[in-house]
Amino acid sequence: MRITILGAGNIGMAAAMKWREAGHTITFGVRDVQSQKAYDAVGEGFTVLPFQEAMVDPEVVLFAVPFAIADEVVKAIRSDWENMIIIDATNPVNTPTEPFDSAAEAISAWTGGEVVKAFNTTGVANMRNPNYGDKTIETFICGDDEAAKKVVTQLAEELGFIPVDAGSLEHAAMLENLAKLWITLAYKQGKGPHFAFTLLHRQKS
């Protein structure tokens, strides 16, 4: 697939490395092509372009910019968002989403496109390595379009996660709150980034 990643930070780069290994064509869209993150992406062999130029016929777009600038990014891109799958990996940390209930629903409204919330509930260390011994951790996704979620499920598996369907896009706020809990535990409560939430299933007797 042709995948455009908006933002060349840690999350975007971690996804790009694994998706390229899976055979996808990756392009980064950035605000400043002279930034250090842009240079780092070029150094890894990726194409890095301004936001608008990066949006030439992608099949999938990953929002990996801070939510605080997501509306600015949408305004900078004059594109028909309806012809692509939009993955929202942002978290509204210290940025209000009103009048929307979640960042994902805001991005859906701003773009008019098909948004799937994914890859926001854990840190980059877990994206790079989602395995804890013999346990592989989950990533939660939600969205309104089943075909789009099927594509994102495949992409999640290529990142090494076990994808879990959390329902429709109206549940995105719950995933964003789960991310806030992870961030609080990791960086405010001193647990660090090397832990993950997971699902345990009791065997039926």
**CATH number of the domain enclosing 110:** 3.40.50.720
104, part of any domain: yes
Domain annotation covers residue 162:
yes
Left if phi > 0, otherwise alpha if psi is -120 to 50, otherwise beta: which for 69? alpha
pTM score: 0.95
Is 195 among the domain residues? Answer: no
Whether residue 205 is contained in a domain is answered as: no
> Does some domain include residue 109?
yes
Residue 193 lies in a domain: no
- Closest residue by Cα to residue 160 from 17, 28, 5, 7: 17
Tell whether 202 is covered by a domain.
Answer: no
Residue 99 CB contacts under 8 Å (≥ 6 apart), including other chains: none
**Structural domain containing residue 182:** 2-188
Q: Does 194 map to a domain?
A: no
Q: What is the pLDDT of residues 1-39, one digit of tens each?
A: 999 999 999 999 999 999 999 999 999 999 999 999 999
pLDDT tens digits, one per residue of 100-154: 999 999 999 999 999 999 999 999 999 999 999 999 999 999 999 999 999 999 9
**Contact (CB, 8 A) for 181 and 91:** no
In this predicted structure, the answer to whether residue 204 has a pLDDT above a threshold of 90 is no
Domain count, the chain: 1
